[in-house]
Amino acid sequence: MKMDGGKQTEGHRKRLRERFTKSKFDGFHDYEIIELLLTYAIPRKDTKPIAKALLQRFKTIRQILDLPTEELKQIDGLGESASVFLKIIRETIAKYFQDATHERKTFLKLDDLAAYIRATIGGRQNEILYALYLNSKNELISAEDLGEGTVTEAVAFPRKIVENALRYKATAVIIAHNHPGGVAEPSRSDDAMTKAIRDALKTVDVDLQEHIIISDDAFYSYRKNGFFD
């Protein structure tokens, strides 16, 4: 007796979940990972064609999760609920990194810092300046999104960071920003802003420890490249 489409779909979903339970994502294709996620947001429908369409158009899981909801909804079969669900997954990942960092309190490696920054602001469509405030033990006190960078905001950023460093009683600051769709190389305005923030923090005896720029697949460290020497 031939199964109907609904039973076949449910059977396939069950097998995907059993594979994940047994071995996590070992042996999974990328489209199967997206397919499995979508089974929790799209009931009673084969999610494999949707997952394959997403990867064909956007290439990687990270790029899919970084997309704005409106772009996700352009894919046939992805409605409001499924698009929001994928954004929930993305923001949960960011929150996981933030919580892990606060629990650990310190960044042990430059790569750890870059991964944290990418998880936090890497998916933004506009440039965002992000600041981390550290105490005398180099432990993270607080971190915050300072907003999108514009010509007028560039003047305000040093003042905001100094005010926040004093409020948190920080002894050092790390700043970071993203280059959406670009390369992880500083512009002249990036250099000028870094110098302005460093000079402003010096007036209150706070050290600008690092400035990280992240792109889709790389990062740039001002300290590693000798800016603070």
**Three-state SS sequence of the chain:** CCCCHHHHHHHHHHHHHHHHHHHCCCCCCHHHHHHHHHHCCCCCCCCHHHHHHHHHHHCCHHHHHHCCHHHHCCCCCCCHHHHHHHHHHHHHHHHHHHHHHHHHCCCCCHHHHHHHHHHHHCCCCCCEEEEEEECCCCCEEEEEEEEECCHHHHHHHHHHHHHHHHHHCCCEEEEEEECCCCCCCCCHHHHHHHHHHHHHHHCCCCEEEEEEEECCCCEEECCCCCCCC
Tens of pLDDT, residue by residue over 20-69, are: 999 899 999 999 999 999 999 888 788 999 999 999 988 888 888 888 88
> How much is the average pLDDT of 169-186?
90
> How much is the average pLDDT of 203-220?
92
Q: What is the predicted pLDDT for the residue at 224?
A: 94
Q: Do domains 5-92 and 105-221 have the same CATH topology?
A: no
Domain chopping of the chain, boundaries: 5-92, 105-221
CATH number of the domain at 105-221, out of 3.30.1490.20, 3.30.70.120, 3.30.1300.10, 3.40.140.10? 3.40.140.10
More confident residue, 5 or 95: 95
pLDDT band at residue 12 under the 50/70/90 scheme? confident
Tens of pLDDT, residue by residue over 128-154, are: 899 999 998 888 888 888 877 543 444
Task: Tell if the pTM clears 0.85, that is, is over it.
Answer: no
Tell me the fold of 5-92. Answer: DNA polymerase; domain 1 (1.10.150)
Q: What is the predicted pLDDT for the residue at 7?
A: 65
